[in-house]
Every structure is written in C-alpha cells, then in structure tokens.
Homo-oligomer: A and B are copies of this chain.
C-alpha cells in the first residue's frame, strides 16, 4: 500500500495550482505585469489551457496575498502601493530580517555556501553587462537563499510574502530610473559579498544585521529619489 503521504500537499490539481500560482507571482514580481496592469481571467485561462475556474482560484490566492485586486464588473488589477504603505512594510521587514538571525538561525551547508558564491558571481557579471530582469531574478534568489537559513517556518512564510509585496514596487523605481541602476548593481554586489563573509564564519546574526541595514538603506534611497 504505497499510498501517497496525506500530510504533503500532493495531487495533480494542487500541483497545477502551485505551478500557475508561482508563474503568475513571478510575472508580477519581475514586472512582466507592472503595478496597475489589468489581467483578464479569460486570456490567462486560455494561455495556460485551463478553464476560468481554476484560474480564478489562483487569482483569488494572489489577491489574498496582496498582489492582485479584483472588482466585479471592472477587472483584476496588479496592486500598487503608496510610499506610506511601503514604509510600513519596510519597517516590518527590517525587524523580521533581524529576527531571522536571532530566532532560529541555521548555519549554511557547504552546498548552500556554494549557492551564495554563485549568486555573488552573477552579481559581479551584472555590473559589466546590465540586465534589469536578470537583476530582479537575482535579488529574489538571494533573498530566498537567505530565508532558507531560518528554521522557523511561519517566519519564512511571512517574510517571503512581504518580500513579494514590496520588491516589485522597488523594482519599478529602479526601472523608471528613480534609482541609478548601475549604482544599485554595485551596492547589491557589495551586500552579497559582506553577507557571504559573515556566513562563511557562521555568524548568522551578523549576516542578518547586514541584511537589515541594506533593507533600510534601499528604502531610504528610493524615498530620496522620489522626493
């Protein structure tokens, strides 16, 4: 009786849901769908070869996560954020970053350290050959790799959700030249290097505080750019 583990989230329907959800979430967070964009249930359903029903389920989940907003008779829109709302989330993200290093930190495995080194190499490459979309993907990979070092599952989920809520707004500022792209590449490269040093000696709290500092400064630079 090799019945599937009922505790895991398996099953064809759930797998399809997860795939659609992650794909749309990435498109939103990589600015394929910029804030304010209107999405069509029908068009999306046709693109992925499903009916509107399962697609609506995915869109409803993204709405619960704060990435979309649907209004009957009007449409489904990618959410935007005011500078005030964004500041609240950033203040909270700073505290949660610090928490990640204090509550249940896990020293990175050799494989994980290699992963960070690869991220560092990708960051260096971007300085010479800029690529906005590759940069968006890179900072996402870096954030998720850091998050994997936290052994508190609810904290991971919450931090991830807040990241997806805010990074696309910050990236919008970058793409709209509110921020200087070349400068941001270099700052990120430095952040990865500094955190890598802390990780290599196993000082997770130091890594967390460096991350916290960079979250704070990235918001400050965006604020100064828009003022």
Interface residues of A (CB under 8 A from B): 6, 11, 13-14, 57, 60-61, 64-65, 71-72, 74, 85, 88-89, 91-92, 95, 99, 103-104, 152-155, 158, 162, 165
In the complex, what distance in Å separates the CA atom of A115 from the CA atom of B152?
35
From residue A87, how far is it (CB to closest CB) to chain B in Å? 10
Using CB atoms, name the residue of chain B closest to A158.
Answer: B158
A165 neighbours in B (Cβ, 8 Å): 154
Docked Cα-Cα span, A71 to B154, in Å, equals: 22
Copies held by the complex = 2
Residue of B nearest to A57 (CB): B60
Report the minimum CB–CB distance from A1 to chain B (whole Å). 16
> With A and B bound together, what is the CA distance between A34 and B120 in angstroms?
49
Determine if B152 and A72 form an interchain contact, defined as CB atoms under 8 angstroms apart: no
Decide if B152 touches A92 in the complex (CB within 8 Å). yes
Contact assessment for A154 and B64 in the assembled complex, using a CB-CB cutoff below 8 Å = no
Report the bound CA distance from A6 to B103 in whole Å.
Answer: 40
Q: Which residues of B contact A61 (CB under 8 A)?
A: 60, 64
Q: How far is the CA of A67 from the CA of B14 in the complex (A)?
A: 17
Given A11-B71, A61-B60, A71-B11: A154 touches B103 (CB 8 Å cut-off): no
- In the A-B complex, the 10 residue pairs with the smallest Cβ-Cβ separation, listed nearest first, are A88-B152, A64-B64, A92-B154, A89-B154, A92-B155, A13-B72, A158-B158, A95-B99, A11-B72, A88-B154
| Given A6-B74, A64-B64, 16 extra CB contacts under 8 A | A11-B72, A14-B72, A57-B60, A61-B64, A64-B65, A85-B153, A88-B104, A88-B152, A88-B153, A88-B154, A91-B104, A92-B103, A92-B158, A95-B103, A154-B165, A158-B158
